[in-house]
Amino acid sequence: MIFASVAKALAQMGDRRFRRVLFLGLALTVALLFAAYAGVLLLVSWLTGDVVTLPLVGEVRWVDDLLGWSSLVLMLTMSVFLMMPVASAITSLFLDDVAAAVEARHYPDLPPVPRLPWMDTVRDTLSFLGVLIGANIVALFLYAILPFATLGIFWALNGFLLGREYFQLAAMRRLGRAGARDLRRRHWPRIWLAGVLMAIPLSVPLLNLLIPILGAATFTHLVHALQSGRVRSA
């Protein structure tokens, strides 16, 4: 069931609606990171001013430039780590469009469903982003303690988080929040395994940016398969 869901999702990755969500998510992510850097640069400029007086040195005029370039290096370094979670969170705002595209192609007999309330989507997205970043920061300590198990920990942790989030998003469209939670609890081993399959490409640059869309499509198929009762061994 899991591999069949992934295969169907991969076969639809060229869908025009999928590309729209991808490009929109990437554009907003880059814009957000640039805005964050601009904010940091303005803060550095405001704190240091044009002239800084240093003990034993006197007035110097290059400190703000040094801090500005240092902040650029810092932001570029951080963006490597932040690009995926930020892109994932922003793209999550539009995953309802991905699920709708999947259902239009593979489940055309289903009745249409209303879009999830925008504020609920934003709240869930911010919550997911916070948990994703927080959990991976905590995992850094495990990586330091168990360096030989780094990849396994990364895949298991992010597989659990991605599976939980994308399954919930896909299931809520048809079952509501409570129904989605109940279905997830009954099938959490399969959901975790499917999430791990989504987490493995996270360690591949650029490819990881496709995971939110692939995950949304995969878990839409998985939700319908579980609902239909066609449960087979993964």
CA pair distance 16, 27, nearest whole angstrom: 16
Q: Between residues 28 and 5, which one has the greater pLDDT?
A: 5
Cβ pair 234, 1 in contact under 8 A: yes
Q: What is the mean pLDDT of the chain?
A: 76
In this prediction, residue 83 carries a pLDDT of 58
Q: Give the residue-averaged pLDDT of 103-125.
A: 81
Residues linked to residue 54 through DSSP beta bridges, in sequence order: 58
Query: What pLDDT sits at residue 63?
Result: 45
Q: pTM of this prediction? A: 0.72
Q: Which of 3-12, 42-51, 206-215 has the lowest mean pLDDT?
A: 42-51
Closest CA to 7 of 231, 197, 233: 197
Positive or negative CA dihedral for 100, 103, 106, 110? negative
Span 1-19, average pLDDT: 87
Per the structure block, which two tokens stand in for 69? 């370039």
Confidence of residue 86 (pLDDT cuts 50, 70, 90): low
Question: CA 28 to CA 18: how far, in whole Å?
Answer: 16
User: What percentage of the chain carries pLDDT values higher than 70?
Assistant: 71
| 3-state secondary structure at position 63 | helix
**Extents of the domains making up the chain:** 2-228
CA nearest neighbour of 101 among 183, 209, 21, 181: 21
* C-alpha Rg value of the chain to the nearest Å: 21
